[in-house]
Structure 1
Amino acid sequence: MTRHDLPTGPEARTRLAAYADRLLEGARPYASPSGSLITLPGRPGGYGTAVDGLEGFARTFLLAGFRLAGEDGADPTGLAERYAAGLAAGTDSTHPERWTRPEEHAQAKVEAASLALILDMTRPWIWDRLSPDVQERTVEYLGSVVGDPGYPDNNWVWFRIVVETFLRSVGGPFSADDVARDLAAHDRFRRPDGWFADGPERSFDHYTGWALHLYPALWPHMSGAAEAAAAAGDDLSLRSAADREHLARYLDDALALVGADGAPLVQGRSLTYRFAAAAPFWAGAYAGVGRPGQLREAATRIVRHFADHGVPGPDGLLTLGWHHPWRPIAQRYSGTGSPYWASKGLLGLALPASHEVWTAAPEPLPVDVGDVLAIAKAPGWAISATHDDGVVRVINHGTDHAVPGADGGDSPLYARFGYSTATSPLLDAEAWSSPLDQSVVLLDAAGRATHRTGFELSHASLVEPVEPVENETSATGAPTAAVLASTADAHWIEVDPTAPDHGSGRPGTSTPAGRITTVSLVRGAWEVRLVRVSAQPEIPEPAEATALRIGGWAAGPGLVSTVVPLLGDVAPVRGETTLDDATPLAGPTTTPWSRYAPVPDGWVAVGIYLARTPALGQPRLELTAGQAAVTWPDGKQTTANLP
């Protein structure tokens, strides 16, 4: 399918519904006899088979619930009956196929939220038809979360809000203190320009959209939400208005982050949830913000991207992977049922065919209209999309899933200098201990690479032309580049191999190496990266670094990735590293790099390029009086002050 062939109205919805039904039918043969556990094939996840089976039920229940709600209860395949039977067995503590309980394993708290959300959304067709004893057991099962102090300070706070809102609506246990505390945590996660951090760290990823924006958009539609908020001392109407405004601003950035082919940004943990990346656009439709035709285009294009790449496979199953099964994409918490959180990307099916998100005329995405250049302040990203090839890139000086001053290891999912919709960071075992792609590292005599986690963002802005240029862009005063800068106290780290993998960098014992200041000037497919190494004044004798290495994009087939030296007294050694099966994308990846030995005094600079076609020329760079002056291949010029 081409990217604009999905029609509007009922036909578009019918096609997406058929896709959803295929997913539900693919999982059905793996249900236990009672239907309470859906244990998909494959090696068990890090939390064991019992949790895998619960996830398989709860996450497909999300999708089944969306189908029922959007069809006003019409149920030709018997979804309500099947899932009600599973609910009855799963909540029965004496049943051999009972569910793992929230007090037995924390992951059950996540799945409890999906159960509660859909029981509320499908209330007339499932909850109201359950026998009183099953209702009582369900309340008792979900009620174990009330007053539980073990909820992490991140997106999990919404799982308890959703569960307790449902419980209160059916006369179950409820804690106003819990909800007040969780809403306060949500407010602490709020960041500028529509963003949320997934907790107190600089954790910016897809959870901003598929959790921290999604649940606030759905919560006001739950029965008794206003009363639950009031009991917690909150005004739901005022909160919802603020959340809608925050979501509307976030969607500006989120829309700019979707590639022309529908590919979402390959960055952050839980990537195996795939088209859950479409969830914030459906959230916009629920909340009544954004342009419906554009929201639908973004969401359906993301789903179609994966469908076009063979997802699900011939057996109709979602696997741990991206375009194809790829087990290393999993975190410790990922099991065989985990990928079905992708159901969130089909949330639009819960809206009827008459809803404006289905009837509005389609509208293009930002990358369809022209090149995009923007600053996302909260994550410290420059967003640069090129219309010609449809690739979206971010240059990252603000996100590392840590806090300033931390000295842990870099997570390839967060701490690299660049991410895109066409590439993946290297995710093989070596990538966690020795950064290569999109990195600036010091090397010791053994070739060990430093890490930058805990760095300080010092600048992020758009820059206008330094002099008039005869073209439409400069005539309007539009920016020619984005400029970002950060400083890292680089450190080698002996990684603790026993630490669980939750997507963030590995902890361990660190050794100081030196201070690295990095400045990026970004425009189109190019980044001009300037680097300076200095001593850390508070560390008089750091371990000796023998070389500086700057790595470019890890590019697969059909992409051009280059690193070209632009500045430096000594010419670097240039090379490429090709790896097989080091990312969840098909084919080998090749990462270009430049290595300077010994470590240079003063600034060095390279041009870093990623596109689907070779570059026509390269940037030129001049340093004058603490300024970098870049002349781009098309003749436009940008200057930036250097720290």
Structure 2
Amino acid sequence: MKYKSLFALLLFFQFATAQNKIKSNTGLEDREVWVKSLYKISYPVIHNLAKETLKKNMPLAHNPDYGLNLTKVTYLEALGRTIAGVAPWLALPDDDTKEGKMRKQMRLELLKGLANSVNPASPDYISYREESQPIVDAAYVAQAFLRAPKALWEPLDDLTKKRFIEEFKSLRTRTGAYNNWLLFAGLTEGFLLSIGEQYDPARVQFAINKMKEWYVGDSWYSDGEKFSMDYYNSYVIHTMLVDLLKILVDKKRAPESDYDLAVKRMVRQSEFLERMISPEGTYPAFGRSITYRTAAFQVLAQTALMEKLPEFIKPAQVRCALTKVIQNMYDGNQNFDGKGWLVLGFNGHQPMVADSYTSTGSLYMATLGFLTLGLPADHQFWTDPFTPWTSLKAWTGEPLKKDYKVEY
């Protein structure tokens, strides 16, 4: 019993020390953690694409059971997934701060890289015209343009825009999986609609109708006809459905009530994600595609970015919780190789957890957990003092809101 008491005491002091360390951070210090980590993740992809060395320098790691045509899909995965996450941050206006200079440099390099990626004469030309996988990653490219139109789409020259439009339309020769993939096809078509291009309304409506049909309750969508317990509600479903419905409402092709309902469900999903973050800033490694790391929190990050968090979840508690997750994942180098590329794994080099469709390019979905960097540094998300998140309150005996279920 004596040893057990000593062990419990030791755990208490370790926990107290960790919490004191958290509480010493200001919101702006937390923002520095986010910026440093997002830049660290994104730089190799964006910088190499700007220099036309992405295909030359990006590793081609995959697990032994990998089943795709690697060189025809992994580079578009890296591009689309990276820029979908950095887009809100790059959409902020230029300023003379250290962060502002980093952001401007990355944005200018990305604009060069985007032009290279659709230029058939470039060594880094990335075709959308073969395989089914580009249906997925074209949607993340389109989502980046939707999230930062003035920073990433409008500055492109007319020829580059024309080339992207042609690549997007070329996807219509193929179909993909009968699950969340419907939203990928729908969102790319939705982007074409948003810029006044001819689009395929059938792909859009089919995606919307199936998501309505596959809703199982309390903010959870089935990923296809059968439910699977994983993070795909956050990786894909809620955010792409909300973004697609926003386009349709703006273009008077869907009732605003559909959009409002999708947002309400996304907000409820954000509550689950916030509760999943442990007092230590960890979260469960369950389900498919855990190699996407912080993409698990895309819904929470987007809900905070849209300023739609429920009243009882304070912006600062989301910031503090996600900061701990980001520190656990990216402060060390366990998730990066010697040249700064992400490695296969969850929190370290763990290739055994990679799926048969996962390669180096796939991993860059991790940026999706950083969407809230699109809020400026003087927003209350960053300026409010340290606020404990739900599980930290629960495990330290503080008052917390009882959970519930929703009927919508």
Match of 2:163 in 1: 137
Match of 1:80 in 2: 107
Map of 1:444-483 to 2, 5 A cutoff? none
Identify if the C-alpha distance between structure 1 residues 266 and 209 changes in structure 2 by more than 3 Å, giving closer, same or farther.
same
Q: Contact 1:59 / 1:343 at 8 angstroms: preserved in 2?
A: yes
Identify if the C-alpha distance between structure 1 residues 133 and 27 changes in structure 2 by more than 3 Å, giving closer, same or farther.
closer
Cα deviation 1:278-306 (Å, max 9, x = unaligned): 22211221341232222223322221221
Q: 2-side partners of 1:106 and 1:30: how far apart?
A: 25
Identify if the C-alpha distance between structure 1 residues 277 and 70 changes in structure 2 by more than 3 Å, giving closer, same or farther.
farther
Give structure 1 regions of 4+ aligned residues with deviation exceeding 6 angstroms.
none
SS in 2 for 1:277: helix
Q: 1-side partners of 2:334 and 2:142: how far apart?
A: 28
Identify if the C-alpha distance between structure 1 residues 295 and 32 changes in structure 2 by more than 3 Å, giving closer, same or farther.
closer
Q: Contact 2:48 / 2:54 at 8 angstroms: preserved in 1?
A: no
Match of 1:289 in 2: 309
Q: Contact 1:151 / 1:157 at 8 angstroms: preserved in 2?
A: yes
SS in 1 for 2:110: helix
Question: 2:58 matched to 1:40?
Answer: yes
Question: 2:390 matched to 1:366?
Answer: yes
Cα drift, residue 219 of structure 1: 4.5
Match of 1:11 in 2: 29
Question: 2:180 matched to 1:161?
Answer: no
SS in 2 for 1:124: helix
Q: 2-side partners of 1:252 and 1:33: how far apart?
A: 41
Cα drift, residue 162 of structure 1: 2.3
Map of 1:225-264 to 2, 5 A cutoff? 225-228=248-251, 230-231=252-253, 234-235=254-255, 237-264=256-283
SS in 1 for 2:360: coil
Match of 2:11 in 1: none
Map of 1:67-106 to 2, 5 A cutoff? 67-71=89-93, 76=102, 78-93=105-120, 95-101=122-128, 103-106=129-132
Map of 1:296-307 to 2, 5 A cutoff? 296-307=319-330
SS in 2 for 1:191: strand
Cα deviation 1:452-479 (Å, max 9, x = unaligned): xxxxxxxxxxxxxxxxxxxxxxxxxx9x
Match of 1:182 in 2: 207
Match of 1:193 in 2: 218
Cα drift, residue 273 of structure 1: 0.8
Match of 2:7 in 1: none
Cα deviation 1:301-352 (Å, max 9, x = unaligned): 2212213554443643311112211211111111111111000011111222
Question: 2:137 matched to 1:111?
Answer: yes
Structure 2 letter corresponding to 1:207 = Y
Higher strand share: 1
Structure 2 letter corresponding to 1:169 = S
Structure 1 letter corresponding to 2:351 = R
Match of 2:284 in 1: 265
Q: Contact 2:86 / 2:370 at 8 angstroms: preserved in 1?
A: no
Identify if the C-alpha distance between structure 1 residues 108 and 38 changes in structure 2 by more than 3 Å, giving closer, same or farther.
farther
Map of 1:347-386 to 2, 5 A cutoff? 347-370=371-394
Who wins on radius of gyration, i.e. which is larger?
1
Once the two structures are aligned, what percentage of the paired residues are identical? 23
Q: Contact 1:272 / 1:322 at 8 angstroms: preserved in 2?
A: yes
Question: 2:176 matched to 1:151?
Answer: yes
Q: 2-side partners of 1:293 and 1:217: how far apart?
A: 24
TM-score, normalisation: structure 2: 0.80
Identify if the C-alpha distance between structure 1 residues 6 and 344 changes in structure 2 by more than 3 Å, giving closer, same or farther.
farther
Question: 2:196 matched to 1:171?
Answer: yes
Structure 1 letter corresponding to 2:182 = V
Q: 2-side partners of 1:84 and 1:36: how far apart?
A: 15
Cα drift, residue 38 of structure 1: 7.6
Identify if the C-alpha distance between structure 1 residues 296 and 123 changes in structure 2 by more than 3 Å, giving closer, same or farther.
same
Q: 2-side partners of 1:38 and 1:226: how far apart?
A: 43
Q: Contact 2:44 / 2:340 at 8 angstroms: preserved in 1?
A: yes
Matched length: 367
Cα drift, residue 39 of structure 1: 5.3
Cα deviation 1:153-186 (Å, max 9, x = unaligned): 2222222232122212222221222211111111
Q: Contact 2:305 / 2:374 at 8 angstroms: preserved in 1?
A: no
Identify if the C-alpha distance between structure 1 residues 54 and 37 changes in structure 2 by more than 3 Å, giving closer, same or farther.
farther
Cα deviation 1:208-263 (Å, max 9, x = unaligned): 12322222444466xx44244x33xx21x212221232223333332332222211
Identify if the C-alpha distance between structure 1 residues 66 and 344 changes in structure 2 by more than 3 Å, giving closer, same or farther.
same
Q: Contact 1:36 / 1:87 at 8 angstroms: preserved in 2?
A: no
Higher helix share: 2
Identify if the C-alpha distance between structure 1 residues 338 and 352 changes in structure 2 by more than 3 Å, giving closer, same or farther.
same
Map of 1:439-518 to 2, 5 A cutoff? none
TM-score, normalisation: structure 1: 0.52
Q: Which runs of 5+ in 1 are unaligned?
A: 372-386, 389-477, 479-643
Identify if the C-alpha distance between structure 1 residues 244 and 123 changes in structure 2 by more than 3 Å, giving closer, same or farther.
closer
SS in 2 for 1:129: coil
Match of 1:212 in 2: 237
Greater relative contact order (Cα < 8 A, sep 6+): 2
Q: Contact 1:279 / 1:345 at 8 angstroms: preserved in 2?
A: yes
Identify if the C-alpha distance between structure 1 residues 32 and 253 changes in structure 2 by more than 3 Å, giving closer, same or farther.
closer
**Superposition CA RMSD, Å:** 3.0
Q: Contact 1:273 / 1:342 at 8 angstroms: preserved in 2?
A: yes
Q: Contact 1:139 / 1:167 at 8 angstroms: preserved in 2?
A: yes
Q: Contact 2:344 / 2:363 at 8 angstroms: preserved in 1?
A: yes
Identify if the C-alpha distance between structure 1 residues 109 and 312 changes in structure 2 by more than 3 Å, giving closer, same or farther.
same
Q: Contact 1:56 / 1:338 at 8 angstroms: preserved in 2?
A: yes
Cα drift, residue 60 of structure 1: 2.4
SS in 1 for 2:221: coil
